[in-house]
Amino acid sequence: MTEAEERRAYRFKGKVAIVTGAASGIGRATALGLAVEGADVAICDLNLAGLESLAAEIGRLGRKSFAETVDVGAKEAVFSFVARAAELLGPVDILVNNAGTGQFQPFAMMEDEEYDRVMNTNVRSVFHFARAVLPSMMDNDYGKIVNITSIMSVIAGQGQSIYNTSKGAAKMMTQGIAADCAGYHINVNAVGPGMVLTGLTRNMLGDPDQAAMFEEKIPLRRIGLPEDIAAGVLFLCSDAAGYVHGETLFIDGGMICTR
């Protein structure tokens, strides 16, 4: 393998990454993709068994990992996790804010607790993690931050008003952070998935009629897989995306273009 081929095959060799919500779905696929291409990865989630399984798989790839359960909406827990990750693996080069939760309830029936739950997980987590990693990235004049939003950041869904709000806020926070970090060689972008088979959608898509209904709305006529989204995330984490900044890459099989 030539030096150029090795660089392409191991885009993240020597890098340290953090992936939130990593125990399953898009987060797991992203963490494994980073490890396959050479990164050591700090992973967090509330699902300890999923984290332990992922950490073991990262180890089998010959990479180091640090796994911990973290309430991503709690500032002290987030900052402590980031500090431990840097202590054990090295300065953080890449942050993927993937942790997220859904909401399916009519607006008129929403309670304060549901609003707080969704906003804490989908927005406050981005705020805390980005602030925790940025000082080191700014000192090193290098960094990649990718926030997982959704096509629902720009398309309203029935019974998903607060989810829409949270993903729209995360999209705009991405742009705001990008504007503020422009002088530090820190790329800040987002990925907006469409309908993807994950833990949040598995029950719904397990119904063949429901799955077929969604497939009819997708120009590519299939439900997305976590690996489809991870491929875009890894591109934005790589130096090949060095001139991509403040953008949202929608990976949705064409759903947005038909709305």
Catalytic sites, residue numbers: 163
Structure tokens that stand for 117 in this block: 């739950």
Query: Beta-carbon neighbour count of residue 234 at 10 Å?
Result: 24
Q: How far apart are CA 81 and CA 95, in angstroms?
A: 13
Residue with token string 């020597």: 14
* E strand residue ranges, the chain: 16-20, 40-45, 65-69, 94-97, 143-148, 186-193, 248-251
